[in-house]
Structure 1
Amino acid sequence: MKVTRDKRASRWDAHRQERRVALVDAAILAIREHGAGVGMDEVAAQAATSKTVVYRHFATRTLLYVAVCARVADVLLGQIREAVTGAAGPRDQVAAGIEAYLRLIEHDPEVYRFVVHRPLVDRPLVDTATGHGPDPAPEPDPVADLVTVIGDEAAAVIAEQLRRTGAATVAAVPWGHGLVGLVRGAADNWLVRPAGMTRAELATHLTDLAWAGISGVLAASEEQS
């Protein structure tokens, strides 16, 4: 027996989704204004509503945090993919990806700190890549998921270059994720201790180091093939 939902219920679904999007927008604006340590009071005030209404759409602070992270992830991944796709060659792809990551940090430092420092998280998160976390599993860890996706993107670029040399691509995954770890670690340190270094200078330093390693193993693969 096929059950048809009342059209009014469907309209309410759309309304709730629109309201959730608006609350995430308000949360990001509140983070920019009040910093990464923003609380639910500031989010509600930015949305011109009450905490009760916010909790009606996001039952816990953690769920709102996860929604903000999802928005940031969509923006960052889109920018990285666009930058890498428009690059002329493998070194330019590495440089473009690093530059896109650093650009978001420089443009939205408090939002980045919010994502990394998790001020609204009130319950454990599980790393979906490793399965590590409490049982029963709560919300997936959006930061771990984002790092995994970016690492896989980097691995795909490296694997393509290895295939062109006729070499095995098995090392592409650890190299790709190692590259992401390198950039993230240096970027986090730069955000806390910029030491007068510009984004462009940091991007150049990281590209030089990353490409020295990648080009070296690619050259070695060519010699062995």
Structure 2
Amino acid sequence: MTETAQPSRGVRMPRDARRAQLLEAAQYVFVHNGYHAAAMDDIAERAGVSKPVLYQHFPGKLELYLALLETHGNELVRRVREAIESTSDNKLRVRAAIGALYEFVAGEGQAFRLVFESDLRGEPAVEKAVEGALSGCIDAITEAVTADAELDAERARLLAVGLVGLSQVTARYWLDARETISRDEAVSLMSTLAWKGLAGFPLQNP
């Protein structure tokens, strides 16, 4: 998320624009403070509005958080589906799907932390939203595997769960290593692992 000048209080905005502004401010506060330490006062101040204006759009902190999860969860699923549908070559599909997850994790504003590193996973509504986003990604991959590999749905889904898990865990690890490993190289390494297994990295000095 970019650092932008906060709007002056009292500036009237169209409802949709105001909602987007409030969500952007809330995302910044949630990512940097965590859900439990975030306060509606902080979000209102970040957005440059009064608390009554904030409450006109969102009745509480949880509703704000869920709105962000829905927005970014839908965006993640859209990216993975577009990646899968971008080619009929399965090897390229694997790379594209992994690349989509890496792109999401590397995205501006650290939205991935709300989806993958939420400190509110014990809340049923949050758990449902997070699982919904992950399931959407898994569904997209499962459909492709079922159609192309002629596997039954359960086995295809197991492979899809593995690919999504591999991608999101390694992408989060890569964030701390990206000064020495580019995103393209990381995606290439993980794509090779997913496509060929460890046999894709044979011993150089057997």
- Does the alignment reach a TM-score above 0.5? yes
**Matched residue type, 1:125:** E
Name segments (4+ residues, structure 1) moved above 4 Å.
15-19
**Matched residue type, 2:192:** D
Ranked by relative contact order (alpha carbons within 8 Å, sequence separation 6 or more), the top structure is: 2
CA-CA distance at 1:72 after TM superposition? 1.0
Find the aligned partners of 2:85 and 2:78 in 1 and give their Cα distance.
Answer: 11
| Equivalence for 1:36 | 32
| Equivalence for 1:27 | 26
> Cα deviation per residue 1:165-216 (whole Å; 9 max; x = unaligned)?
xx54441011111111111111122224446111111101111111125xxx
Q: Structure 1 residue 97 and structure 2 residue 97: aligned?
A: yes
| Equivalence for 2:73 | 73
CA-CA distance at 1:67 after TM superposition? 0.7
- Structure 1 residues 19, 107: closer, same or farther in 2, change over 3 A? closer
Q: Is the 8 A contact 1:37 1:114 kept in 2?
A: no
| Equivalence for 1:53 | 53
Q: Is the 8 A contact 1:36 1:114 kept in 2?
A: no
- Structure 1 residues 160, 76: closer, same or farther in 2, change over 3 A? same
| Equivalence for 1:10 | none
Find the aligned partners of 2:172 and 2:43 in 1 and give their Cα distance.
Answer: 25
| Equivalence for 2:200 | none
**Matched residue type, 1:190:** W
Aligned length: 180
CA-CA distance at 1:35 after TM superposition? 4.9
- Structure 1 residues 151, 59: closer, same or farther in 2, change over 3 A? same
Q: Is the 8 A contact 1:65 1:118 kept in 2?
A: no
Equivalence map 1:108-127=2 (5 Å): 108=108, 110-118=110-118, 121=120, 124-126=122-124
TM-score of the superposed pair, with normalisation by structure 1:
0.68
Secondary structure at 2:110 match in 1: helix
**Matched residue type, 2:101:** Y
Secondary structure at 1:156 match in 2: helix
- Structure 1 residues 35, 168: closer, same or farther in 2, change over 3 A? closer
Find the aligned partners of 2:179 and 2:17 in 1 and give their Cα distance.
Answer: 42
CA-CA distance at 1:85 after TM superposition? 1.3
Provide structure 1 residue ranges, at least 5 long, that are not aligned to the other structure. 1-14, 127-137, 214-225
Root mean square deviation of aligned Cα: 2.8
Q: Structure 1 residue 148 and structure 2 residue 135: aligned?
A: yes
Identity %: 26
Q: Is the 8 A contact 1:151 1:176 kept in 2?
A: yes
TM-score of the superposed pair, with normalisation by structure 2:
0.73
CA-CA distance at 1:96 after TM superposition? 0.7
CA-CA distance at 1:68 after TM superposition? 0.7
Find the aligned partners of 1:17 and 1:107 in 2 and give their Cα distance.
Answer: 23
CA-CA distance at 1:111 after TM superposition? 2.2
Provide structure 2 residue ranges, at least 5 long, that are not aligned to the other structure. 1-13, 198-206
- Structure 1 residues 139, 147: closer, same or farther in 2, change over 3 A? closer
| Equivalence for 1:177 | 161
- Structure 1 residues 189, 109: closer, same or farther in 2, change over 3 A? farther
- Structure 1 residues 168, 67: closer, same or farther in 2, change over 3 A? closer
